[in-house]
Amino acid sequence: MYETSYHRADSVADAASKIGDEGKYLAGGMTLLPTMKQRLAAPDTLVDLTHIGDLKGVSVNGKEVRIGAMTTHAEVNGDAALQSACPSLAKLAGGIGDPAVRHRGTIGGSIANHDPAADYPAAMLALNATIHTDSREISADDFFSGMFETALNEGEIVTAISFTAPDKGAYEKFRNPASRYAMAGVFVADHGGDVRVGVSGAYSNGASRNSEMETALSGNLSADALDGVAVDAGDMLSDIHGSSDYRAHLVKVMAKRAVAAM
Protein backbone atom coordinates (compact mmCIF):
# COMPACT_ATOMS: atom_id res chain seq x y z
CA MET A 1 0.00 0.00 0.00
CA TYR A 2 1.19 3.49 -0.78
CA GLU A 3 0.85 6.34 1.67
CA THR A 4 -2.59 7.89 1.83
CA SER A 5 -4.38 10.32 4.12
CA TYR A 6 -7.53 9.34 5.94
CA HIS A 7 -10.50 11.58 6.71
CA ARG A 8 -13.47 10.44 8.77
CA ALA A 9 -16.44 12.35 7.38
CA ASP A 10 -19.20 13.42 9.76
CA SER A 11 -21.69 14.41 7.07
CA VAL A 12 -22.29 13.90 3.38
CA ALA A 13 -21.38 17.53 2.72
CA ASP A 14 -18.18 17.13 4.70
CA ALA A 15 -17.28 14.04 2.69
CA ALA A 16 -17.94 15.73 -0.64
CA SER A 17 -15.75 18.66 0.36
CA LYS A 18 -12.78 16.44 1.19
CA ILE A 19 -12.66 14.07 -1.73
CA GLY A 20 -10.50 16.14 -4.09
CA ASP A 21 -9.34 14.91 -7.48
CA GLU A 22 -7.42 11.80 -6.40
CA GLY A 23 -9.46 10.72 -3.38
CA LYS A 24 -11.69 7.72 -2.89
CA TYR A 25 -14.71 7.25 -0.70
CA LEU A 26 -14.25 4.43 1.76
CA ALA A 27 -17.26 2.37 2.72
CA GLY A 28 -16.62 -1.09 4.18
CA GLY A 29 -13.36 -1.27 2.25
CA MET A 30 -13.92 -4.89 1.27
CA THR A 31 -12.73 -4.27 -2.27
CA LEU A 32 -10.87 -0.97 -2.06
CA LEU A 33 -8.48 -1.87 0.75
CA PRO A 34 -7.24 -5.15 -0.75
CA THR A 35 -6.81 -3.33 -4.06
CA MET A 36 -4.74 -0.68 -2.33
CA LYS A 37 -2.70 -3.31 -0.51
CA GLN A 38 -1.80 -4.82 -3.84
CA ARG A 39 -0.88 -1.35 -5.09
CA LEU A 40 -3.48 -1.57 -7.82
CA ALA A 41 -5.13 1.58 -6.47
CA ALA A 42 -3.37 4.48 -4.81
CA PRO A 43 -5.79 7.23 -3.79
CA ASP A 44 -4.11 10.16 -2.03
CA THR A 45 -7.08 10.53 0.29
CA LEU A 46 -9.58 8.12 1.82
CA VAL A 47 -12.82 9.72 2.95
CA ASP A 48 -14.54 7.33 5.32
CA LEU A 49 -18.33 7.42 4.97
CA THR A 50 -19.13 4.76 7.55
CA HIS A 51 -19.49 7.15 10.48
CA ILE A 52 -22.13 9.36 8.88
CA GLY A 53 -25.27 8.66 10.88
CA ASP A 54 -27.63 9.74 8.08
CA LEU A 55 -26.31 6.99 5.84
CA LYS A 56 -27.04 4.12 8.20
CA GLY A 57 -30.03 2.00 9.07
CA VAL A 58 -33.05 0.25 7.62
CA SER A 59 -36.50 1.81 7.69
CA VAL A 60 -39.64 -0.06 6.71
CA ASN A 61 -42.98 1.66 6.30
CA GLY A 62 -45.59 -0.80 5.12
CA LYS A 63 -44.15 -2.10 1.88
CA GLU A 64 -41.80 0.83 1.44
CA VAL A 65 -38.19 -0.02 2.34
CA ARG A 66 -35.28 2.36 2.59
CA ILE A 67 -31.75 1.21 3.47
CA GLY A 68 -28.98 3.67 4.22
CA ALA A 69 -25.93 3.22 2.04
CA MET A 70 -23.60 2.53 4.96
CA THR A 71 -25.77 -0.21 6.44
CA THR A 72 -23.71 -3.37 6.74
CA HIS A 73 -24.76 -6.70 5.28
CA ALA A 74 -25.12 -8.08 8.81
CA GLU A 75 -27.48 -5.24 9.71
CA VAL A 76 -29.57 -5.83 6.59
CA ASN A 77 -29.60 -9.54 7.33
CA GLY A 78 -30.62 -9.04 10.94
CA ASP A 79 -33.26 -6.31 10.56
CA ALA A 80 -36.54 -7.70 11.89
CA ALA A 81 -38.77 -5.31 9.95
CA LEU A 82 -36.98 -6.11 6.69
CA GLN A 83 -37.13 -9.83 7.41
CA SER A 84 -40.89 -9.41 7.55
CA ALA A 85 -41.31 -7.03 4.60
CA CYS A 86 -38.75 -8.52 2.23
CA PRO A 87 -37.24 -11.71 3.62
CA SER A 88 -35.50 -12.55 0.36
CA LEU A 89 -33.24 -9.49 0.57
CA ALA A 90 -32.46 -10.08 4.25
CA LYS A 91 -31.52 -13.65 3.41
CA LEU A 92 -29.37 -12.54 0.48
CA ALA A 93 -27.42 -10.23 2.79
CA GLY A 94 -26.80 -13.13 5.16
CA GLY A 95 -25.15 -15.09 2.37
CA ILE A 96 -22.63 -12.48 1.25
CA GLY A 97 -19.01 -13.36 1.88
CA ASP A 98 -18.23 -14.51 5.39
CA PRO A 99 -19.07 -13.07 8.84
CA ALA A 100 -16.15 -10.62 8.78
CA VAL A 101 -17.22 -9.30 5.38
CA ARG A 102 -20.83 -9.01 6.49
CA HIS A 103 -19.87 -6.89 9.48
CA ARG A 104 -17.75 -4.49 7.44
CA GLY A 105 -19.18 -4.46 3.95
CA THR A 106 -22.07 -2.11 3.13
CA ILE A 107 -24.88 -2.11 0.61
CA GLY A 108 -23.85 1.28 -0.75
CA GLY A 109 -20.27 0.19 -1.21
CA SER A 110 -21.35 -2.98 -2.95
CA ILE A 111 -23.60 -1.37 -5.52
CA ALA A 112 -21.29 1.61 -6.14
CA ASN A 113 -18.47 -0.83 -6.91
CA HIS A 114 -20.69 -2.98 -9.14
CA ASP A 115 -18.55 -6.06 -9.00
CA PRO A 116 -20.28 -8.23 -11.58
CA ALA A 117 -20.29 -11.12 -9.12
CA ALA A 118 -21.69 -9.19 -6.13
CA ASP A 119 -25.10 -10.25 -4.88
CA TYR A 120 -26.89 -6.94 -4.25
CA PRO A 121 -26.96 -5.67 -7.84
CA ALA A 122 -29.17 -8.58 -8.95
CA ALA A 123 -31.54 -7.77 -6.09
CA MET A 124 -31.63 -4.04 -6.92
CA LEU A 125 -32.68 -4.85 -10.48
CA ALA A 126 -35.29 -7.40 -9.50
CA LEU A 127 -36.69 -5.19 -6.75
CA ASN A 128 -36.88 -2.23 -9.17
CA ALA A 129 -35.00 -0.24 -6.54
CA THR A 130 -34.16 3.42 -6.59
CA ILE A 131 -30.57 4.46 -5.85
CA HIS A 132 -30.43 7.73 -3.92
CA THR A 133 -27.34 9.88 -4.18
CA ASP A 134 -26.34 13.22 -2.72
CA SER A 135 -27.64 14.88 -5.88
CA ARG A 136 -30.37 12.73 -7.46
CA GLU A 137 -32.32 9.51 -7.69
CA ILE A 138 -31.43 6.82 -10.22
CA SER A 139 -33.44 3.72 -11.05
CA ALA A 140 -31.53 0.46 -10.74
CA ASP A 141 -32.15 -0.20 -14.42
CA ASP A 142 -30.20 2.95 -15.25
CA PHE A 143 -27.64 2.60 -12.47
CA PHE A 144 -25.67 -0.53 -13.43
CA SER A 145 -24.05 0.41 -16.72
CA GLY A 146 -21.28 -2.17 -17.12
CA MET A 147 -18.81 -4.32 -15.26
CA PHE A 148 -17.48 -2.20 -12.38
CA GLU A 149 -19.32 0.74 -13.96
CA THR A 150 -22.33 2.69 -12.77
CA ALA A 151 -24.18 5.87 -13.62
CA LEU A 152 -22.51 7.67 -10.73
CA ASN A 153 -20.64 10.85 -11.59
CA GLU A 154 -17.19 11.63 -10.27
CA GLY A 155 -17.51 12.40 -6.56
CA GLU A 156 -21.20 11.46 -6.34
CA ILE A 157 -22.16 9.64 -3.14
CA VAL A 158 -24.76 6.88 -2.83
CA THR A 159 -26.82 7.75 0.24
CA ALA A 160 -29.52 5.07 0.27
CA ILE A 161 -31.51 2.60 -1.74
CA SER A 162 -35.29 2.27 -1.61
CA PHE A 163 -37.88 -0.01 -3.10
CA THR A 164 -41.40 -1.28 -2.73
CA ALA A 165 -41.32 -4.78 -1.32
CA PRO A 166 -42.47 -7.39 -3.83
CA ASP A 167 -45.23 -9.88 -3.07
CA LYS A 168 -42.64 -12.59 -3.16
CA GLY A 169 -38.98 -12.89 -3.93
CA ALA A 170 -36.10 -15.31 -3.78
CA TYR A 171 -32.40 -15.34 -4.55
CA GLU A 172 -30.35 -18.38 -5.45
CA LYS A 173 -26.71 -18.39 -6.31
CA PHE A 174 -23.96 -20.77 -7.29
CA ARG A 175 -20.69 -19.83 -5.70
CA ASN A 176 -17.36 -19.74 -7.44
CA PRO A 177 -15.46 -22.56 -5.73
CA ALA A 178 -12.38 -20.36 -5.27
CA SER A 179 -13.58 -16.83 -4.51
CA ARG A 180 -17.04 -17.85 -3.28
CA TYR A 181 -18.51 -14.94 -5.23
CA ALA A 182 -21.59 -15.72 -7.29
CA MET A 183 -20.93 -17.38 -10.64
CA ALA A 184 -24.64 -17.11 -11.23
CA GLY A 185 -26.91 -15.33 -8.77
CA VAL A 186 -30.52 -14.92 -9.75
CA PHE A 187 -33.05 -12.78 -7.90
CA VAL A 188 -36.66 -13.29 -8.90
CA ALA A 189 -39.27 -10.85 -7.56
CA ASP A 190 -43.02 -10.93 -8.14
CA HIS A 191 -44.56 -7.48 -8.16
CA GLY A 192 -48.25 -8.27 -8.46
CA GLY A 193 -47.82 -10.63 -11.36
CA ASP A 194 -45.18 -8.48 -12.96
CA VAL A 195 -42.04 -10.56 -12.46
CA ARG A 196 -38.54 -9.11 -12.60
CA VAL A 197 -35.40 -11.24 -12.83
CA GLY A 198 -31.99 -9.82 -11.87
CA VAL A 199 -28.81 -11.77 -12.57
CA SER A 200 -25.36 -11.34 -11.00
CA GLY A 201 -22.10 -13.07 -11.71
CA ALA A 202 -22.76 -14.40 -15.17
CA TYR A 203 -23.12 -11.54 -17.62
CA SER A 204 -20.02 -9.94 -19.05
CA ASN A 205 -21.52 -6.46 -18.72
CA GLY A 206 -22.33 -6.88 -15.04
CA ALA A 207 -25.65 -7.29 -13.30
CA SER A 208 -28.46 -7.56 -15.81
CA ARG A 209 -32.11 -8.41 -16.12
CA ASN A 210 -33.26 -11.34 -18.20
CA SER A 211 -36.33 -10.24 -20.11
CA GLU A 212 -37.09 -13.64 -21.63
CA MET A 213 -37.39 -15.13 -18.18
CA GLU A 214 -39.44 -12.20 -16.97
CA THR A 215 -41.88 -12.65 -19.84
CA ALA A 216 -42.14 -16.37 -19.23
CA LEU A 217 -42.72 -15.95 -15.51
CA SER A 218 -45.12 -13.02 -15.61
CA GLY A 219 -48.49 -14.70 -15.41
CA ASN A 220 -47.05 -18.17 -14.78
CA LEU A 221 -44.79 -18.04 -11.78
CA SER A 222 -43.53 -21.62 -11.84
CA ALA A 223 -40.17 -23.23 -12.43
CA ASP A 224 -41.62 -25.13 -15.37
CA ALA A 225 -42.38 -21.86 -17.08
CA LEU A 226 -38.64 -21.44 -17.61
CA ASP A 227 -38.18 -24.77 -19.39
CA GLY A 228 -38.59 -23.28 -22.81
CA VAL A 229 -36.45 -20.23 -22.16
CA ALA A 230 -33.05 -20.32 -23.81
CA VAL A 231 -30.45 -18.29 -21.95
CA ASP A 232 -28.04 -16.80 -24.45
CA ALA A 233 -24.47 -17.80 -23.61
CA GLY A 234 -23.13 -15.14 -25.91
CA ASP A 235 -23.49 -12.49 -23.23
CA MET A 236 -21.84 -14.55 -20.53
CA LEU A 237 -18.44 -14.48 -18.89
CA SER A 238 -16.12 -17.38 -19.63
CA ASP A 239 -13.11 -18.34 -17.53
CA ILE A 240 -11.38 -21.27 -15.83
CA HIS A 241 -14.31 -21.67 -13.46
CA GLY A 242 -16.86 -22.11 -16.17
CA SER A 243 -17.48 -21.53 -19.83
CA SER A 244 -20.18 -19.15 -20.99
CA ASP A 245 -22.35 -22.18 -21.79
CA TYR A 246 -21.94 -23.44 -18.24
CA ARG A 247 -22.84 -20.03 -16.82
CA ALA A 248 -25.87 -19.74 -19.08
CA HIS A 249 -26.96 -23.14 -17.86
CA LEU A 250 -26.38 -22.12 -14.24
CA VAL A 251 -28.48 -18.97 -14.67
CA LYS A 252 -31.41 -21.07 -15.72
CA VAL A 253 -30.89 -23.62 -12.97
CA MET A 254 -30.61 -20.90 -10.32
CA ALA A 255 -33.65 -19.08 -11.71
CA LYS A 256 -35.71 -22.24 -11.52
CA ARG A 257 -34.56 -22.87 -7.98
CA ALA A 258 -35.36 -19.30 -6.99
CA VAL A 259 -38.86 -19.61 -8.41
CA ALA A 260 -39.31 -22.94 -6.66
CA ALA A 261 -38.24 -21.33 -3.39
CA MET A 262 -40.76 -18.47 -3.66
Partner 1 sequence: MASHLDSNVIPPSRQRETPRAGLTWIGQSMKRVEDPRILSGKGGYIDDVKVPGMAHAAMVSSPHAHARIVSIDTSKAEELPGVIGVYTGEDVATVVDPCPSFASPPVTQHAMAIDKVRHVGEVVAAVVAEDRYIAEDAAALIEVEWDVLPAMVDIEASLEAMGDGVLHPDDRESNKALDESFEFGPVSEDFDAADRIIKRRLRWNRSSAQAIETCGVISQWDAFKGGYTIHANTNFYNFIPFVIGGSLRVSPGEMRIIPVLTGGSFGSKVFIHKIIIMTSALSRLSGVPVKYIEDRLEHFTNSDSHGSDRLYDAELAINDDGTFKSLRFTVLDDYGAYLQFGVGTHGNAMAQVTGPYQIGSFGMRVIAVLTNKTQQGPYRGFGSEVTNWVMERMADAAAEELGRDPLELREQNMIQPDQFPYMIPTGNIYDSGNFQKVLGEAKSLFDLDAWRKKAADMRAEGRCVGIGVATCMERSVYGPTEWWSLNNKETPGFTLTSTPEGISARIDPSGKLFVTLHSPMVGNSPETVVTQILAERLTVAPEDVVINYSDSQSGFNGVGPQGSRFTAMVAGACVSAAIKLEERLKRFGAHMLQRRPEDMELRDGKVAVKGLKDQETSFADIALNSSFFRLSFPDGEEFDSGLETTAVYDHPLSTDPHEDREHLGIFYPIVGHICHIVAVEVDPGTGKVEMLDYAAVHDNGTIVNPRTLAGQVWGGTANGIGTTLSEQFNYDESGQFVNPNFAEFAMPTANEMPRNFKLGHVETPSPYTEYGIKGGGEGGRLGAPSALTSAVEDALQNYGVKISALPITPPVLRGLIREAEQAA
Residues found near partner 1 in the complex (CB under 8 A):
39, 174, 176-179, 240-243, 246, 249-250, 253, 257
Full DSSP string of 61-99: ETTEEEEETT-BHHHHHH-HHHHHH-HHHHHHHHTSS-H
| Closest among 108, 30, 104 to 69, alpha carbons compared | 108
Q: Is residue 67 a contact partner of residue 61, using CB atoms and an 8 Å limit? A: no
Burial 125-158 (b: 16+ CB within 10 A, else e): bbbbbbbbbeeeebebeebbeeeeebbbeeebbb
Closer residue to partner 1 in complex, CB, 217/250: 250
Smallest distance from partner 1 to CB 172, Å: 10
Closer CB to partner 1, residue 70 or residue 250? Answer: 250
**For partner 1, the closer CB: 56 or 247:** 247
In terms of CB distance, is 81 or 100 closer to partner 1?
100
Q: What is the nearest approach in angstroms of partner 1 to the Cβ of residue 178?
A: 4
Which residue's CB is nearer to partner 1, number 66 or number 256?
Answer: 256
> Measured from the CB of residue 198, what is the shortest distance to partner 1 in angstroms?
19
Give the whole-angstrom CA distance, residue 158 versus residue 25.
Answer: 10
Least spacing, CB of residue 245 vs partner 1, in Å: 9
Backbone φ and ψ for 208, nearest 5 degrees, come out as -145, 160
Smallest gap from residue 5 Cβ to partner 1 (A): 17
